[in-house]
Amino acid sequence: MVTLEIDGQKVEVEEGTTVLQAARKLGIEIPTLCYNEAIQPYGACRLCVVEVIMGNVSRFQSSCSLPVADGMTVKTNSESVLRGRKVLLELYLARCPQSKEVKELCERYGVTETRFKTFDKMEDCVLCGLCVRVCDEVVGAHAIDFVGRGTERRVDVPFERLWDKCLACGACTYVCPTGHIQNEGRRIGQLRRNLGTERKCRYMLMGAVSSKICPNNYECWRCEYDQRTEYQLGNHPALALKTTGKK
Amino acid sequence: MTGEELDSIIEEKGQDAPALVGILQEIQKREYCLPFKTLGMVSEKLDVPMSRLYGLATFYKSFTLKPVGRHTVDVCMGTTCYVCGGQLLMDRLLRDLHIPEGGTTSDRKFTVQPVRCLGCCSIAPVIRVDSDVFGHVTQNQIPKILERYE
């Protein structure tokens, strides 16, 4: 067990937990975009930045990827942390001015306008990599990855057309913090109509075919992809989507 | 590229993840691009997802998905070279070879592209053909330089 201090409160957690998890245990809110409990921390969005004081040294680190250590003092809301977070939010606002989630975060931290240049007004992908990682780690389909670099970086399938590996499971839509992948619904819809050559399953989001046997001889909703996704995310992406659809 | 050729490359470079870029570089060197079919074979042989290979191929500038010429002509467009007439060299090259910027000649001999600083500003303006660097280049020297390459 490791003891550390977060915002003046002492907390005892197991070794190997991250600072973010320890803070959430205390009920301290740290904003995140790229974090999901089921997936390995990635540290892409930097919004979870905290001030860590070890001895006389104070550093800024992303709390989602920082393991706890004895004698650590963490400040999650100090002035300099908030200042850093505001700059980050300005950057996010410049990239995705339309995104609802980014706007909400900005409102919470009092960021109203950005000093940076806005490129694409319709962009809402924050490149957090959650969809890429859920596809790799949880589903194991490896259908999507980052393509290009710098300002051209985006999430896509290989050669913009190789959809065969995609199972249309919807896990990426489920984890996406800004709903960018939902806008790809048209392409995923096409995919389900279009029978690929290497396909494993194209019906995971439909739900209506629960009694059918898929080409891989699994009963629907009980295939290994489905089970693994449901187990690791704690909820099936398809079920989550259905409830939001009714609203 | 045949499967055996690819096997020999993989044998030489190794099978682990760090060798991946080396393997792709070797393919790029031999085929002058990363063909879809070859990438598929690499993905199968090394058990690396295609999405990852495509990510790598689009990340690094030295990889291209469309074939380039046998020789790459890099014209330095860094500040010094630009001031000393890099743009004139570029114009001359494109005029002589009848290609647009970044284009490839129809006989697949040359590809001309602008690059940022090559790190030898003292001999500006600079052009680089494959790995040979030419300094203090004037427009009139360009046909001679191009003649050297087959």
Q: Which of A171-180, A212-221, A224-233, B127-136 shows the lowest mean pLDDT across its residues?
A: A212-221
Amino acid at B92: R
Question: ipTM of the assembly?
Answer: 0.75
**Would you place residue A221 in the very low, low, confident or very high pLDDT band (cuts 50, 70, 90)?**
low
Nearest to A148 among B50, B52, B58 (CB): B58
Which tens digit of pLDDT belongs to each residue from B12-71? Answer: 888 887 889 999 999 998 888 888 888 888 988 888 888 999 999 999 988 888 888 889
How far apart CA A81 and CA A219 sit, in angstroms, is 50
Residues of A in contact with B59 (CB under 8 A): 146, 148-149
Which tens digit of pLDDT belongs to each residue from A94-140? Answer: 988 888 888 899 999 998 888 988 877 778 888 999 989 988 888 77
Neighbours of B4 (CB within 10 A): 8
Residues of B in contact with A142 (CB under 8 A): 49-52
Average per-residue pLDDT for chain A: 79
Determine, for residues B51 and A159 on separate chains, whether the beta-carbon distance falls below 8 Å.
no
Question: Hey, what are B142's tokens?
Answer: 């360009």
Task: Give the burial string for A18-40 (b: 16+ CB within 10 Å, else e).
Answer: bbbbbbbeeebebbbbbbbebbe
How far apart CA A171 and CA A208 sit, in angstroms, is 18
The stretch B127-148 carries a mean pLDDT of 91
* HSE-up (13 A, CA, CB side) for residue B26: 17
- CB-CB contact of A191 with A204 (8 Å): no
Residue A161, exposed/middle/buried by CB under 10 A (0-12, 13-18, 19+)? exposed
Number of helical (H) and strand (E) elements in chain B, helices listed first? 7, 4
Domains of chain B: which residue ranges? Answer: 3-59, 71-147
How far apart CA B26 and CA B30 sit, in angstroms, is 6
How far apart CA B78 and CA B94 sit, in angstroms, is 18
**Would you place residue B121 in the very low, low, confident or very high pLDDT band (cuts 50, 70, 90)?**
very high
pTM of the model: 0.76
CA torsion, ordered A204, A209, A211, A216, to nearest 10 deg: -50
pLDDT at A223: 63
Of residues A66, A57, A75, A82, the one with CA closest to residue A19: A66
- Rounded alpha-carbon distances, angstroms, from residue A68 to A19, A59, A63, B128: 6, 14, 9, 51
Backbone phi, then psi, for A58, in 5-degree steps? -115, 130
Question: A157 CB near a chain B CB, below 8 Å?
Answer: yes
Question: Hey, what are B39's tokens?
Answer: 């990438």
- Radius of gyration in angstroms for the set of CA atoms belonging to chain A, rounded to a whole number: 20
**Domain B71-147: which CATH number of 3.10.20.30, 3.40.30.10, 3.40.50.10470, 3.40.50.1980:** 3.40.30.10
Question: A150 CB near a chain B CB, below 8 Å?
Answer: no
Q: Which domains does chain A have, with CATH numbers?
A: 1-124 (3.10.20.740), 130-246 (no CATH)
- Measured between CA atoms, the residue of chain A closest to residue B55 is A147
Question: A142 CB near a chain B CB, below 8 Å?
Answer: yes
- CB-CB contact of A121 with A97 (8 Å): yes
How far apart CA B97 and CA B105 sit, in angstroms, is 7
Nearest to B51 among A142, A148, A149 (CB): A142
Residues of B in contact with A162 (CB under 8 A): 50, 54
- CB-CB contact of B146 with B110 (8 Å): yes
Determine, for residues B49 and A145 on separate chains, whether the beta-carbon distance falls below 8 Å.
yes
